[in-house]
Chain A
Amino acid sequence: MKVIFKPEGGFGFFPGLNKPLELSCDNLPEPEAHHLQELLNDACFFDLPSQSPESSRGADQKHYTIQVEDNGQAHSVAFSDTDANAALQNLVSYLSKKQQESRSGL
């Protein structure tokens, strides 16, 4: 399974923070790959709409795109912080942490 995570938006544009993160379960320790699978299951990821309805109000909100490819199945979801339910927020928190680790070279 492959997961691509792309955060965007917010109060400013920071080139170094907008780089997409690509995770492959083949390269993750087994417990972590299992954890990621659970986060995706909890979010019912493959049942989520591809695009949240766009609001004409507000500014500076963060937006995320998550794409998952698994067993020939592919799905992409785009949403903002205020659209995300708790399960999707947990998935974003995990992916944000992984992105931070990748920036730090961990």
Chain B
Amino acid sequence: MCHTHHRHSIFCILPPYLLRAIAENGDKAARNMALEALGSDMTFRNLRSVPNLHLEVIRKRPFSFMSAGEKQRTIYTANNEQALPGVVVRAEGSPATCEPAVDEAYDGLGATYDFFWDVFKRNSIDDEGMPLNGTVHFGTNYSNAFWDGQRMVFGDGDGEIFNRFTIALDVIAHELTHGVTEDEAQLIYTGQSGALNESISDVFGALIKQYTLKQTADQADWLIGSGIFTDKIKSGGDHPAAIRSMQAPGTAYDDPVLGKDPQPAHMDAFVNTFEDNGGVHINSGIPNHAFYLAAINIGGNAWEKAGRVWYQTLLDPALKPNTKFQRFAELTIENAKRFEVEAQVRDAWQQVGITPPS
């Protein structure tokens, strides 16, 4: 038998601040409905679900829906099942739950939103205030985090190899950035364009961690997912084990169970494979390392110039869904000119074996 859940129509038109007041002060039924409404706006969602039309259509949203700089987070729990989105456990403005996965997801989405707003004046994933939804406790011993096109989803890990995936801010930021890339460039998730998609998520994941920790490029560890592994996993370098290293791709881990980090740092070691969607998490080491080198060449806070160059490249209409490394490098160099860091960015790409025309 099919049960249909109806939401009271008033919750579709109330602005977020009123919904939050109801969520905090209303009776149980009103509170539940307000929390649901805060978590999803079906008008926006339906518009977004139409492939290839969304960019044209969503730009026409009425301005009254927007509240720039005001984030709208909702955290759900899947209660160790795999049904999405799950049950609301924390909405925007509600107090900490003292449950680590819930509060880390809430804080991590907040830090990511704040970074994009403070540094780039980007208002959420779609630059139009899209609500940020995250689901924690997905599955049983589920060792992964992913972006499903609508929300960020985090597993608890198996406790043997992986800790909970909300433990690392850069992992949360990585997933949210997949939403930004999907909104701006729709880089196809296979081969070199897929590796660029992955790399962009690592770049902004690293930048958001550095911005939060107030670290300059030479102070940062440039590790992605440090803390995700349990203490049993061995590192492949002189640093804690992590999922990837942007400074030294191929050294993030070297462990009897996991094997050795397969990421190349140079085009000479590019991996041709059918696995991993054509090596999206493998060959992303090359553009990751180019970004690291560019940030080190420029010096100072990586988000101020190198990050801005990569962000402008992501917004560049010349960045097509099937863009490969060479063309991406050319676009970053083009975008570097306005920040007067062209030489530093060009040198970074040359060091990873990509030589754009002068």
Contacts and interface: CB of A to CB of B under 8 A. Distances in A.
Interface of A: 8-18, 55-62, 81-82, 84, 86, 89, 93, 96, 100, 103
Interface stretch (B17-25, B145-153, B215-223): B145-153
Contact of A11 (B51, B243, B277): B243
Contacts of A103: 257
B318 interface: no
Interface of B is mostly: loop
A62 B146 CA distance: 8
Nearest to A10: B144
Given A17-B258, A60-B175, A11 B165 contact: yes
A32 B276 CA distance: 31
A14 B259 CA distance: 7
Contacts, number: 94
Given A8-B275, A59-B147, A13 B84 contact: no
B139 A15 contact: no
B82 A89 contact: yes
Interface in B258-277: 258-260, 262, 275-277
Contacts of B90: none
B287 to A, nearest CB: 15
B124 interface: no
Contacts of B340: none
Given A11-B145, A13-B275, A59-B189, A100 B158 contact: yes
Contacts of A56: 51, 186
Given A56-B186, A60-B145, A62-B146, 6 more contacts: A11-B165, A13-B262, A15-B262, A17-B259, A82-B82, A82-B148
Contacts of B198: 59
B286 interface: no
Nearest to A60: B146
B348 to A, nearest CB: 23
A8 B275 CA distance: 8
Interface residues of B, number: 46
Contact of B276 (A8, A55, A96, A100): A8
Contacts of A8: 275-276
Contacts of B161: 17
B149 A13 contact: no
Interface in B129-143: 139-143
Given A57-B148, A60-B146, A13 B158 contact: no
29 contacts: A10-B144, A10-B146, A11-B146, A11-B281, A12-B225, A12-B243, A12-B244, A13-B279, A13-B282, A15-B259, A15-B262, A16-B258, A17-B161, A57-B182, A58-B147, A59-B178, A59-B189, A59-B197, A59-B198, A59-B201, A60-B144, A60-B145, A60-B147, A61-B148, A81-B139, A81-B144, A82-B148, A96-B141, A100-B158
Contacts of B244: 12
A11 B160 contact: no
Contact of A58 (B141, B146, B255, B258): B146
B171 interface: yes
A42 to B, nearest CB: 15
A82 B182 contact: no
A62 to B, nearest CB: 5
B82 A13 contact: no
Given A58-B147, A60-B146, A16 B178 contact: no
Nearest to B273: A13
B201 A16 contact: no
A6 B160 CA distance: 20
A57 B281 contact: no
Interface string B150-187: 10000000101100010000010011001000100010
A68 B244 CA distance: 35
Contacts of B150: 57
Contacts of A55: 149
A14 B258 CA distance: 6
Contacts of B255: 16
B160 A93 contact: no
B160 to A, nearest CB: 7
